Amino acid sequence: MNTSATPTRVTPTIGVGASWRIGKQFRFEATRQLNGRADGHSFTAEAVLGGLELDPVGFVIDFGRLSALRRHIDDRLDHQCLNDRVPDASDEGLAAYLTDWARTHLPDDAAESLVDVRIRTGRRRGPAAGFAVEFEAAHHLEGLPAGHPCARRHGHSYLVSAADADGCSVPVPEELAWHIGKVLDGSVLNESLDINPTTEHLARYLSNWMDRGPATIRVSETESSWAQYTRSRS
């Protein structure tokens, strides 16, 4: 991280139209036959949800609300021949099948927030080298039901990435990388920030920290989940 200069903290005004998206990935292994050829893949189904507001804790929704989708993928698709399990085994067909299933079987709040379910094959791929910033931190979340695992203090290896107004990846600005390393890395987020440190709140905090930063900031809490905040263009 570049620590050659101390950035100035500013808090911009966020206009109407700012929004969040979150994503949760589910892996499954399967085979299929397309165009007369059989093949096999490691598949990733990514459920993407969105909203203009957060719940009182600071979630678009709790990822636990997607557990039925996880079970359905495990029971119906994992280690199966997909041609025997879905009407169309192409990537597009799988995405349409899982999107339709999720909209009719998930709890109402999750179904209403769902943007779509996306499919890709192959191993997980992260942001290009030099485009993302990692930090390690502990936190707990307030306002959760008794027994919720995130109510206990725990830690994550976070990954922060950025995109421009067209959705294209851009490097995290050096001054924001400096701030992440100076303030967040190695900290207890509840003590270093005046927020309930959900990933959604972290993405907005990092976006607001810069007056003229990237349009979108994404924070990945784990390899299979992320939240991003996009500023209003107004």
Say if residue 92 is exposed, middle or buried (CB neighbours under 10 Å; 0-12, 13-18, 19+): exposed
Query: What's the average model confidence in pLDDT over 93-97?
Result: 98
Fold of 20-121: Tetrahydropterin Synthase; Chain A (3.30.479)
pLDDT confidence tier of residue 234, bands split at 50, 70 and 90: low
Superfamily classification of domain 133-230: 6-pyruvoyl tetrahydropterin synthase/QueD (3.30.479.10)
Looking at residue 7, its pLDDT comes to 28
Higher pLDDT, 119 or 14: 119
Query: What's the average model confidence in pLDDT over 109-128?
Result: 89
Looking at residue 233, its pLDDT comes to 66
On whether the CB atoms of residues 154 and 170 are closer than 8 A, the answer is: no
pLDDT confidence tier of residue 76, bands split at 50, 70 and 90: very high
Percent over 70 (pLDDT), the chain = 90
Q: How far is CA 221 from CA 19, 51, 57, 134, in A?
A: 19, 19, 16, 10
pLDDT confidence tier of residue 17, bands split at 50, 70 and 90: low
In the structure encoding, which two tokens stand for residue 1, read together? 């991280």
Looking at residue 129, its pLDDT comes to 67
Amino acid code (one letter) for 112: E
pLDDT per position as a tens digit, 127-180? 766 789 999 999 999 999 999 999 999 999 999 999 998 889 999 999 999 999
Phi, psi of 211 (to 5 degrees): -75, -40
- CA dist., res. 202 & res. 193, Å (int): 9
pLDDT per position as a tens digit, 54-70? 999 999 999 999 999 99
Spans of all domains in the chain: 20-121, 133-230
Asked whether residue 10 carries a pLDDT value surpassing 70, the answer given is no
Bridge partners (DSSP) listed for residue 32? 39
Asked whether residue 15 carries a pLDDT value surpassing 50, the answer given is no
pLDDT confidence tier of residue 3, bands split at 50, 70 and 90: very low
**Cβ contacts of 190-196, under 8 Å, gap ≥ 24:** 190/139, 190/140, 195/58, 196/57, 196/58, 196/141, 196/142, 196/143
Same fold for the pair 20-121 and 133-230: yes
DSSP 141-176: -SSPPTT-GGGS-EEEEEEEEEE-TTS-EEPPPHHH
Bridge partners (DSSP) listed for residue 34? 37
Query: What's the average model confidence in pLDDT over 101-117?
Result: 97
pLDDT per position as a tens digit, 203-227? 999 999 987 788 999 999 999 999 9
**Cβ contacts of 94-103, under 8 Å, gap ≥ 24:** 94/43, 94/45, 94/119, 95/45, 95/119, 98/45, 98/47, 98/69, 98/73, 101/69, 101/72, 102/47, 102/66, 102/69
Question: Rounded mean pLDDT of the chain?
Answer: 90
In the structure encoding, which two tokens stand for residue 229, read together? 């905040």
Asked whether residue 200 carries a pLDDT value surpassing 90, the answer given is yes
Phi, psi of 27 (to 5 degrees): -95, 145
Q: What is the DSSP pairing of strand 133-139 with strand 187-188?
A: parallel
